[in-house]
Amino acid sequence: MRTVLNILNFVLGGFATTLGWLLATLFTIILIFTLPLTRSCWEITRLSLLPFGNEPVHVDELYPERRNALRNGAGTLLNIVWFVLFGWWLCLSHIFIGIVQCCTIIGIPVGITNLKIAAIALWPVGRRVVSVEEARAARDANARRRFNRT
């Protein structure tokens, strides 16, 4: 089912958002001061291409032992730079394509997924795209860790 939905996403406009993310990735490589944004941009490009079966997870959820206030502060600063240069137009493209996809009955699940990616497009730094199973395992481990602390 994931494969069918991923193909449907690509056919119904996902190729346009993926091209937008690829273009943003190339710009982050070309503009030297945006190189730290390249990995996050590439991660979300993968999510835009194959949204079903993958899930964005914050690095703090995947690796809670690596939490660092300095890294989180730098990530916030990078997210602000991202928003000004690329985030707003990528977000708008996902919103537009998501609304168009939701106009067809068959495109509603794909449209909803694009609207979810629109929120991630605003603040992608610190996100990793992992399989749904890996994301669930990380969240379960974090829940057990929090439960054991109390």
pLDDT (tens digit per residue) in 75-129: 788 888 888 888 899 999 999 999 999 998 888 999 999 998 998 888 888 888 8
* The predicted structure's pLDDT at residue 32: 82
Element holding 138 (H helix, E strand): helix 132-149
Domain ranges (residues) in the chain = 2-149
Q: pLDDT tens digits, residue range 16-71?
A: 999 999 999 998 889 888 888 888 888 889 889 989 988 888 887 777 666 666 66
Give the dihedral sign, CA 22/54/56/13: positive
* Amino acid (1-letter code) at residue 20: G
Distance CA 148, CA 89 (A): 43
Alpha-helical (H) ranges within 2-107 are 2-9, 15-30, 38-49, 59-62, 69-82, 88-102
The rounded distance, in Å, linking the Cα atoms of 117 and 133 is 19
How many Å separate Cα 26 from the centre of its chain? 17
> pLDDT value at position 139?
84
pLDDT for residue 62: 76
Please tell me the predicted confidence (pLDDT) of residue 150. 60
